[in-house]
Amino acid sequence: MLRHYESLGLLPPVARTGSGYRLYGEKEVHTLRFIRRARDLGFSMAEIAELLKLWQNRRRASGQVKRIAEAHIADLDRRLAEMQAMRRALAELARCCHGDDRPDCPILDDLSQGALP
């Protein structure tokens, strides 16, 4: 992941030892912790890049940060609603399935309706 972060410009290239190990200072470790926390909150790499720029810019307006966070919240809400709808649909299909030795299965029937011939 470190190479990936460097390639995305999230982390600057750092000095290396003679054997090729990266030498991270306190600043880089702090940046890595920032990235990790943002990832834990589900931000995309593009969002993390923007948040990092804002974090490093002491003249930033907090409104910019809040807009990114609120857009992410809206995306999470949308995804949660989609997942809840999927769960309801699947729970209903599972409820309709007898789950016995018979070959008929409403779950497979429903799935096959969307399958291409």
Range in 25-34, 96-105, 108-117 the model is least confident about: 108-117
Half-sphere exposure (Cβ direction) of 4: Cα atoms closer than 13 Å: 5
> What confidence score (pLDDT) does residue 86 get?
95
> What confidence score (pLDDT) does residue 6 get?
86
**Between 84 and 28, where is the model more confident?**
84
**Between 50 and 21, where is the model more confident?**
50
Tokens of 96: 């309709």
- Give the range of the structural domain holding residue 15, as residue numbers without chain letter: 2-113
The number of domains in the chain is 1
CB 38 within 8 A of CB 48: yes
> What confidence score (pLDDT) does residue 15 get?
85
What pLDDT band is residue 22 in, cutting at 50, 70 and 90?
A: confident
Domain containing residue 60: CATH number: 1.10.1660.10
Q: Which is nearest to 49 in space by CA: 63, 31, 66?
A: 31
